[in-house]
């Protein structure tokens, strides 16, 4: 089975049952993965939006159903390389986006995102495959 990594925006829309139909079809046909960054961002989002225990439990249940990509030394080194390369190009990238890109590149998996501009440099210069629809 093919696998894709879900960016936090796509994960959130999927959890809320608001993912566009075309992207939902692609996600449904694959093994869905998330990074440690998306887990952290979802927890932050739940807390800041005051989600009740029932909705929080729904998100927690969803997280148990997706595959979590490893975060290890290879990912950390890739993050460092991506971050340095972006800085050298004069276009530093947000750390969380860089971590997500590093996880995807190490595993050789595409990233489903609605935030193409946040990952365009990683696609252009490092071969990150983006799924946008």
Could you give the residue ranges of the DSSP H alpha helices within 1-133? 8-15, 21-28, 36-48, 53-65, 73-88, 95-107, 116-126
Question: In the prediction, which pLDDT does 1 show?
Answer: 58
CATH class of 3-131: alpha beta
Question: Please, how many CA atoms are within 13 Å of residue 113, restricted to the half-sphere of its CB?
Answer: 23
Let me know: does 16 contact 6? Beta carbons within 8 Å.
no
**Model confidence over 75-94: pLDDT tens digits?**
999 999 999 999 999 999 99
pLDDT of residue 3: 93
The pTM score is 0.92
Q: Tens digits of per-residue pLDDT, 57-66?
A: 888 898 999 9
The span from the CA of 128 to the CA of 61, in Å, is 29
- Give the pLDDT confidence score for residue 33 in this predicted structure: 95
- pLDDT averages per 10-residue partition of the chain, 133 residues: 90 88 84 94 88 83 91 96 96 95 97 94 97 83
What are the sequence ranges of the domains in the chain? 3-131
């Amino acid at each position: 089975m093919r696998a894709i990594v879900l960016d936090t925006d796509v994960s959130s829309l999927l959890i809320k049952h608001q993912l566009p139909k075309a992207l939902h079809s692609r996600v449904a046909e694959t093994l869905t993965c998330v990074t440690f960054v998306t887990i952290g961002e979802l927890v932050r989002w739940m807390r800041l939006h005051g989600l009740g225990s029932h909705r929080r439990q729904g998100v927690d249940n969803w997280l148990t159903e997706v595959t979590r990509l490893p975060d290890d030394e290879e990912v950390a080194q890739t993050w460092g390389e991506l971050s340095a390369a972006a800085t050298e190009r004069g276009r530093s990238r947000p750390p969380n986006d860089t971590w997500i890109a590093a996880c995807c590149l190490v595993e050789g998996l595409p990233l489903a995102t609605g935030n193409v501009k946040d990952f365009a440099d990683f696609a252009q210069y490092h071969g990150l495959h983006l799924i946008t629809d």
